Structure 1
Amino acid sequence: MSIDLIIDKRKHDLGGGFEVGRVLPFRKRRMVGPFIFFDHMGPVDLAPGIPRELDVRPHPHIGLSTVTYLYDGAMTHRDSLGFKQEIRPGEVNWMVAGNGITHSERFEEARAHGAHMHGIQAWVALPKEYEETDPAFYHHEGQDLPEWDEAGLHGRLIAGSVDGMNANVKTHSPLFYMHLEMETGASRLLGTEHTERAVYVASGHIEIDGKPLETGQMAVLSEGKDVRISAPVKSVIMVLGGEPIGERFLFWNFVSSSKDRLEQAKEDWKQGRMKLPDADNEEYTPLPEEKPDAQPMS
């Protein structure tokens, strides 16, 4: 078999009525390689003058890297290191949380002019030896991100290495993350260079070795088997994966190999010990209500 599991996105409210499609984590498959979180945002049309309640207010992270990738629209990133960056389609914004960072994501351009918003937010768990590294933020575009054209297909390598290509994005474990735009009738072989792999359909629908996959579905692929991805119609897909990094625990925006470290992060946020972005120091996202013990992510 080519596919181990198909995951359907589930609606998740980020607050203020802004919904996303949550794909990872999933109860039957918590991670794919080091990818521990995958949200599909939109597509949605935002009118000029949208309320500020739709913004993602300042919030903390530990133990992971975030990557925000847009197909359409724009967002404004601000973080506790002092970075302010407009996030635009086709660019990579890679934020290393490490031992702790806070940031916000604002729809400033949409508020001023309106926007068609569509994109993916993913988190990559850090290996144990890097969980407490210093936080950092990197912006990449152009030649940093290899692009190529095949018959009926345009590709961009967002991060990592695959098929002899390397993105100039600092990562901490073996992984790959690709954006493929496929015209009707296009196809591509995906090899077994990485142990764990998945394919997500952002628009259109595809077939994997003849098995259909619709918009909003992720196929977690079987290990050690080449698969052919075909597009009966024009489609946009994300292909991702890498090497597994071991058990992880997740609470809210915190990821760690240690439950005790999650408890420390919760207390640090509640007690105001994590610096807010300078321009966002008048509001923040409170810690959510406690849930049952964090579940292992493996």
Structure 2
Amino acid sequence: MSFFPCPDPEAGDHAAVDQVEMLIIPRTSDIGGLEVRRALPTAKRRLVGPFIFFDRMGPALFRAGQGLDVRPHPHIGLSTVTYLFDGEMTHRDSLGTGMVIRPGDINLMTAGRGIVHSERTPENLRGKPFSLSGLQTWLALPESHENNDPSFLHAEAGNLPEFSEQGYSGRVVIGNWQGLKSPVAVPTDTLYVDLRIEPNSACPFQAGAEERAAYILSGALSVSGTRYETDQLLVFRPGDTLDLVTGDEPCHVMLFGGETMESPRHIWWNFVSSSKERIEQAKEEWRTGKFDIVPGDEEEFIPLPAS
């Protein structure tokens, strides 16, 4: 999804308490009728592991005749990860990919040296009301992969390992979790887990990943005795095993993180790179039409922002 212009999310008013290193309250914007909450990047926290961008999309209800239309736009130096809880989205890209993503599926589009894609509501949904809810995140690529050829991977929900323990259950989207391994391959150690915790229960969060965070999608969590609410991002202190504890209501949370990036990353619009010069080059390439087109979606595109 295209990077939208809005102020950085701000850290919450709570001081970092015990195992929670930082609390981030996302900022909200509207993209064509879809409310989006951006939690990363912020001025105080740019990445958690390879995650340099974290957007909560919806939940939103579209009326008949409405739909999401994110026109073709470019990316470099990152992988986009699209994961839905409700609704459908059609992905097309300059590799010739045409794919409908459904709840529980994962789309992993690796830009490398450059790719163009669009995201739209499938035509079969536009004639009736429908809902859309999900996440879109970006993974910064290690320097050794920043200029690789672009690629695309789609994994259906049924191919992702699921777990169910006393008090909690979920799906391993990327990485390893409690002995389960996702088939989705990425070039750095990455964790991405869809977790649901039952009322008055607890889920242990082991200290395996070098950097870890949790985004509360619904419900509330207590960590080290402090309660955190829906649409809050918790960044955890490295090295701790901690318990995610619920009260009288269930909680839906996305766990994520991974190894620390080996060098800083620059981000401008839809471009991520370890090199400012490469970003300037990508700007010129998009401005002058040197990126590839998206077959089946050639008529529109998002212009390069003025600043």
TM norm. shorter chain > 0.5: yes
**Contact 2:50/2:190 (CA < 8 Å) preserved in 1?**
yes
CA deviation after TM superposition for structure 1 residue 143, in Å: 5.0
Give, as a single letter, the amino acid of the residue that structure 2 aligns with 1:130.
H
TM-score (norm 1): 0.93
Match of 2:115 in 1: 101
Offset of residue 121 of structure 1: 0.4
Which 10-residue stretch deviates more, 163-172 or 119-128?
163-172
| Residue 248 (structure 1) aligned with residue 248 (structure 2) | no
Kindly indicate whether the alpha-carbon contact (under 8 Å) linking 2:34 and 2:57 is maintained by their aligned counterparts in 1: no
Question: Sequence identity of aligned pairs in percent?
Answer: 46
Aligned to 1:20: 36
Q: Cα distance, 1:199 vs. partner? A: 0.6
C-alpha distance in 1 between matches for 2:62 and 2:154: 25
What residue number does 1:229 align with? 244
Unaligned runs of 5+ in 2: 1-17
Tell me, what secondary structure is at the counterpart of 1:40?
strand
| Residue deviations 1:44-89 (CA, integer Å, cap 9, x gap) | 11111016xx411110000000110011111111111111111100
Deviates more, 1:146-155 or 1:263-272: 146-155
The residue type paired with residue 151 of structure 1 is Q
Aligned equivalent of 1:37: 53
Per-residue deviation at 1:116?
1.4
Do the aligned residues in 1 keep the contact of 2:197 with 2:203 (CA within 8 Å)? no
Once residues 50 and 290 of structure 2 are traced to their aligned partners in structure 1, the CA distance between those partners, rounded to angstroms, is: 28
Quote the offset at 1:114 in angstroms.
Answer: 2.2
Q: Does 1:151 align with 2:166?
A: yes
Deviation at 1:17, TM superposition (A): 4.2
Which stretch of structure 1 is more off in the superposition, 163-172 or 259-268? Answer: 163-172
Displaced runs of 4 or more, over 3 A: none
Q: Give the corresponding residue for 1:218.
A: 233
Native 8 Å contact 1:46 1:110 kept in 2 = no
TM-score of the aligned structures, taking structure 2 as reference length: 0.91
Q: State the distance in 2 between where 1:137 and 1:82 align.
A: 10
Q: 1:118, 1:106 → 2: CA distance?
A: 14
Contact 2:55 2:136 in 1 (8 A): yes
Over the residues paired in the alignment, what is the CA RMSD in angstroms?
Answer: 1.2
Cα deviation per residue 1:231-270 (whole Å; 9 max; x = unaligned)?
Answer: 2111110000000112000000000000000001000000
Say whether residues 1:89 and 2:77 are aligned partners.
no
* Contact 1:74–1:115 (Cα < 8 Å) also in 2: no
For each residue in 1:205-233, what CA deviation from the matched residue of structure 2 results, as whole angstroms up to 9, or x when unmatched?
11122221111100000011111001211
- Structure 1: any 5+ residue segments left out of the alignment? 291-298
Counterpart residue number, 1:172: 187
Matches within 5 A, 1:126-137: 126-137=141-152
- CA drift of 1:142 comes to 4.2
Residue 167 of structure 2 contacts residue 203 of structure 2 at CA under 8 Å; is this kept in 1? no
From 61, 64, 67, give the equivalent of 2:78. 64
Do the aligned residues in 1 keep the contact of 2:79 with 2:111 (CA within 8 Å)?
A: yes
The equivalent residue for 2:7 is none
Tell me the alpha carbon deviations over residues 126-147 of structure 1, each in whole angstroms, 9 at most, x when there is no partner.
0000001111111102453110
